[in-house]
Amino acid sequence: MHKSRLGGLIIDCKTDDLDSAGLFWSRALGLDIKPVTHPVDNQYVSLNTPGNDIHIEVQQVEHDSRVHIDIETDDIEAEALRLEKLGARRVKKVKSWLVMEAPTGQRFCLVGPQRSEFESQANHWD
Amino acid sequence: MHKSRLGGLIIDCKTDDLDSAGLFWSRALGLDIKPVTHPVDNQYVSLNTPGNDIHIEVQQVEHDSRVHIDIETDDIEAEALRLEKLGARRVKKVKSWLVMEAPTGQRFCLVGPQRSEFESQANHWD
């Protein structure tokens, strides 16, 4: 048995100026910027979402700007198999996460648990 | 003074089969499909998100599949002016909502209040 649910929203920005991108989305959504939590790479600005809300990050990318969904799970392999049965396909592994593509065309990522209350509120899959 | 915050996530699907698209995302995210709430047009499947969570809808579209953000507000014109000052631009009005484009390239929509607790939890702008 494993668990998953919507974990977050990643705002992918094709930009040379991540600080300005992060500032725009921080102000647009009225969410403060978190202190740096990825000291190893500097391609993210994380926004501070209240309580159990989904996490939101602004990411500097090379591909065209878009928004993508993260699904949080305690077992990425089991979740990938579940989603493949629903028609999704694996695209690639990047660091600790797995990029997948929905049958409807959007790319999304499987990541480890991100939000508070994951244990009690995520969906349970047999 | 007006208010706004992140209202929801719209999963735009270029598809002839909205039912299958809605079913995939319902199962992928572990969220039930709501009974039809847009009796006038049939281009939406709404997912049932718990409590004060953002709303999530699967929308049948003509353009390429993507995900877009809705910002909920009690004053669309005032919110559009605020976001223009931050660098966003207006794209078009569609029914009761306004499509805008972020300086980072993503399109998003301004819509009326959607989530519960909008009044108490949205950001206040002077």
Task: Supply the DSSP string of A83-123, one letter for each residue.
Answer: HHHTT-EEEEEETTEEEEE-TTS-EEEEES--STTHHHHSE
User: What structural domains does chain A harbor?
Assistant: 2-125 (3.10.180.10)
Helices (H), chain B: 18-29, 76-85, 118-121
Q: Let me know: does B71 contact B82? Beta carbons within 8 Å.
A: no
Instruction: Report ipTM (2 d.p.).
Output: 0.94
- Cα(A1)–Cα(B98) distance, integer angstroms: 43
Q: What is the pLDDT of residues B45-64, one digit of tens each?
A: 999 998 788 999 999 999 99
Q: What percent of chain B has pLDDT over 90?
A: 85
Closest Cα in chain B to A122: B30
pLDDT at B38: 56
What does DSSP assign to residue A33? B
Nearest CA-CA partner of A58 in A18, A17, A101: A18
Average pLDDT over every residue of A46-75: 94
The answer to whether residue A118 scores a pLDDT higher than 90 is yes
Q: With an 8 Å Cβ cutoff, are A4 and B56 in contact?
A: no
Contact A29 B6 (CB under 8 A): yes
Let me know: does A66 contact A10? Beta carbons within 8 Å: no
**CA quadruple B14, A92, A85, A118: dihedral sign:** negative
Banded model confidence at residue B39, pLDDT cuts 50, 70, 90: low
Interface test with A, best of B12, B64, B67, B121 (most A CBs within 10 A): B67
Q: Is A25 helix (H, G, I), strand (E, B) or coil?
A: helix
Per-residue pLDDT tens over the stretch A86-99: 999 999 999 899 99
Q: For residue B29, list chain A residues with Cβ-Cβ distance below 8 A.
A: 5-6, 71
Nearest to A29 by CA among B110, B46, B77, B119: B110
Give the minimum alpha-carbon distance from B92 to chain A in angstroms, rounded to a whole number: 18
Q: State how far residue B36 is from chain A, nearest Cα, in angstroms.
A: 21
